Amino acid sequence: MNTSPERLWEECLQLLRGRVPDQTFETWFKPIKPLDIDQKKLTVQVPSHFFYEWIENHYRELIAAVLQKVSGNGLKLAYSVVYTEDDHQVAPPPAPMGSNQVFSRQQQVESYLNERYTFENFVEGDNNEFARAAALAIAEAPGGTSFNPLVIYGGVGLGKTHLAQAIGNKSLQDGTARRVLYTSSEKFTIEFINSIKNNKTTEFSEHYRNVDLLLVDDVQFFQKKESTQEQFFHTFNALYQAGKQIVLTSDRAPKELSGMEERLLSRFQAGLIADIQPPDLETRIAILQHKAQEDGIEISYDIIEFLAANITSNVRELEGALIRLLAFSSLSNTDITVDLAKRVLREIIGKSFSSSVSIEDIQRTTGEVMGVGESEIIGKGRKQEVARARQLAMYLCREMTHSSLKTIGLHFGGRDHSTVVHACKVVEDKMQKDSDLNQQIKSVKHKLEIGQF
Ligand code: ADP
Ligand code: MG
């Protein structure tokens, strides 16, 4: 190989840059250092074992393809993991026998952690996979990875506090950190102001600097509070220099925090930044199933799917819906049904079900369920499956809308009202014995109801 490892890797980077999001590029590819090259492999240095595993699991094929393109042969990638001093940090010695329990309970009170927030009950999805993996790596070796600080950012109710606290709980439980402190930027600010008032700034500093793991929630509230930022900057540095772990959460990306001192922002950005996005439908379903199971609630999949389909942006609301549903059902002493779920949703989303669906909605949805195009339903075609879908759509229009038979007929390619009457009769007759048809009716109605929110 007559090129240098630097040149070759630089070419790889150029290609990679265009193929992954900027954040991914900065986080995973920028820190890689090319070391050596021979006929068979390019050796690169990565900052930690976790880093190596993440790249292997997520980008192995991409890197292989890029290497192939750049080198023109099947050059392999080999890793060399740097171990910083911190990586060798060992867990603190266990507490003497018998005192363990007391020790951990005492710690929990002082840590301000809520035991409810654990990794075990944090449901993983595409939206949080990276943040969760980084959080786990940190809990296993606080201060011992290159991810310091870890900044978790994302919208309201998406699990930032849960993850931050899970790091604290796990570190205490596994003994990877002895002193853990969870706080919010607001609490930090208030305590700081009080310490000035009461002449206790030294105690304040000591309190925050005397930990192995500091978790600060919602750092966006530091915005525009200059002297608190100054104080936090010093706390941050003291901990950082002592190899202690810092975890921060924020409702927006660090670079979008305005009203923050530049030097503080650059500290925030020096570690690892991981975002949490809103969960997709599958993840929302999984979260609800998990919560229901946790609370021992018997609830059918239909209802779970119904809730998950309608509450889309926020896990806290999703949880709230489940809790409210439970309260409704026990207060009124009724089973949890889709109807009850609708009532709950109506309260949460504040929209009403009273508006009726339109003829067009029914035509489209029936078409979707029966695998027939909307235009075929309206058209003149006589193929059996088309006729069947058309009749069903007419029947549903009579059932679900306030339109007259004449109006319905007009919407179906200008057909006569007697055609509609006939269609309804055919469907009603078939419903007696055709279970496929009954299932299809159910599906169309279900889809239409969900669509109404
Ligand atoms: P944030 O701090 O981002 O506003 P929280 O961490 O307070 O959000 O999460 C809101 C609620 O949703 C909490 O009760 C939390 O346990 C729950 N939650 C969020 N994400 C998940 C998840 N992936 N799995 C299980 N529960 C979750
Ligand atoms: Mg929070």
Find the domain containing 21 and state its range: 5-96
CATH code for the domain of 338: 1.10.8.60
Q: Is 217 helix (H, G, I), strand (E, B) or coil?
A: strand
CATH code for the domain of 364: 1.10.1750.10
Q: Token match 């060798």: residue? A: 88
CA–CA distance, 345 with 193 (Å, rounded to integer): 43
The number of the ligand 1 atom at minimal distance from the alpha carbon of 162 is: 6
Strand partners, 184: 217
CATH code for the domain of 160: 3.40.50.300
Domain boundary among 302, 326, 349: 349
Q: Name the DSSP class of 357.
A: P
pLDDT of residue 26: 80
Tokens at 216, concatenated:
């600060």
pLDDT of residue 85: 41
Strand partners, 46: 81
Residue 151 within a domain: yes
Residue 108 within a domain: no
Question: Do 48 and 20 sit in the same domain of this protein?
Answer: yes
Question: Do 268 and 307 sit in the same domain of this protein?
Answer: no
Residue 238 within a domain: yes
Q: Which ligand is nearest to the CA of 320?
A: 1
Q: Are 153 and 217 in contact (CB under 8 A)?
A: no
Domain boundary among 55, 75, 96: 96
Residue 398 within a domain: yes
Picking from 104, 128, 233, 129, the residue whose alpha carbon sits closest to that of residue 180 is 104
pLDDT of residue 75: 87
Query: Is residue 34 reached through a cis peptide bond, with omega within 30 degrees of 0 on the bond before it?
Result: no
Q: Which ligand is nearest to the CA of 185?
A: 2
Q: Token match 């896990």: residue? A: 315
Q: Total structural domains in the chain? A: 4
Question: Do 335 and 421 sit in the same domain of this protein?
Answer: no
The number of the ligand 1 atom at minimal distance from the alpha carbon of 124 is: 23
pLDDT of residue 350: 60
Question: Do 154 and 197 sit in the same domain of this protein?
Answer: yes
- Residue 210's φ and ψ, nearest 5 degrees, are -95, 45
Cα–Cα–Cα angle for 399, 404, 410, nearest 5°?
Answer: 105
Question: Do 169 and 252 sit in the same domain of this protein?
Answer: yes
Q: Is 409 helix (H, G, I), strand (E, B) or coil?
A: helix
Residue 136 within a domain: yes
Query: Which of 220, 280, 315 for a ligand 1 pocket mutation test, highest count of atoms within 8 Å of Cβ?
Result: 315
Q: Are 76 and 21 in contact (CB under 8 A)?
A: no
Count of CB atoms within 10 A of residue 413's CB?
13
Residue 331 within a domain: yes
Question: Do 133 and 219 sit in the same domain of this protein?
Answer: yes
Query: Which of 126, 249, 316 for a ligand 1 pocket mutation test, highest count of atoms within 8 Å of Cβ?
Result: 316
- Residue 43's φ and ψ, nearest 5 degrees, are -100, 130
With a 6 Å cutoff on the Cβ, whether 158 touches ligand 1 is yes
With a 6 Å cutoff on the Cβ, whether 242 touches ligand 1 is no
Residue of minimum CA distance from atom 21 in ligand 1: 159
pLDDT of residue 202: 93
Residue-wise pLDDT tens for the chain (453 aa)?
A: 678 999 999 999 999 998 887 777 887 888 899 999 998 889 998 877 777 888 888 888 899 999 999 988 888 888 887 654 443 333 333 333 333 333 343 343 389 999 999 999 999 999 999 999 999 999 999 998 889 999 999 999 999 999 999 999 999 999 999 999 999 999 999 999 999 999 999 999 999 999 999 999 999 999 999 999 999 999 999 999 999 999 999 999 999 999 999 999 999 999 999 999 999 989 999 999 999 998 888 888 888 988 888 888 789 989 988 888 888 888 888 888 888 888 888 777 665 444 567 899 999 999 999 999 999 999 999 999 999 999 999 999 888 777 788 889 999 999 999 999 999 999 989 988 898 999 999 889 888 876 654
Q: What is the pTM of this model?
A: 0.65
Residue 261 within a domain: yes
CA–CA distance, 287 with 125 (Å, rounded to integer): 9
Q: 380 CA to middle of ligand 2, Å? A: 57
Question: Do 313 and 331 sit in the same domain of this protein?
Answer: yes
Question: Do 194 and 265 sit in the same domain of this protein?
Answer: yes
Q: 185 CA to middle of ligand 2, Å? A: 11
Count of CB atoms within 10 A of residue 165's CB?
26
Domain boundary among 314, 349, 384: 349
Going 306 to 311 to 316 to 317, the CA torsion angle's sign is negative
Q: At 45, which helix (H) or strand (E)?
A: strand 41-46
CATH code for the domain of 92: 3.30.300.180
Residue 370 within a domain: yes
Question: Do 268 and 137 sit in the same domain of this protein?
Answer: yes
Question: Do 245 and 152 sit in the same domain of this protein?
Answer: yes
Question: Do 256 and 290 sit in the same domain of this protein?
Answer: no
Question: Do 436 and 311 sit in the same domain of this protein?
Answer: no
CA–CA distance, 182 with 291 (Å, rounded to integer): 24
Tokens at 119, concatenated:
């990794």
Question: In Å, what is the CA distance from 41 to each residue of 5, 28, 121, 403?
Answer: 10, 20, 41, 72
CA–CA distance, 261 with 304 (Å, rounded to integer): 45
The number of the ligand 1 atom at minimal distance from the alpha carbon of 125 is: 23
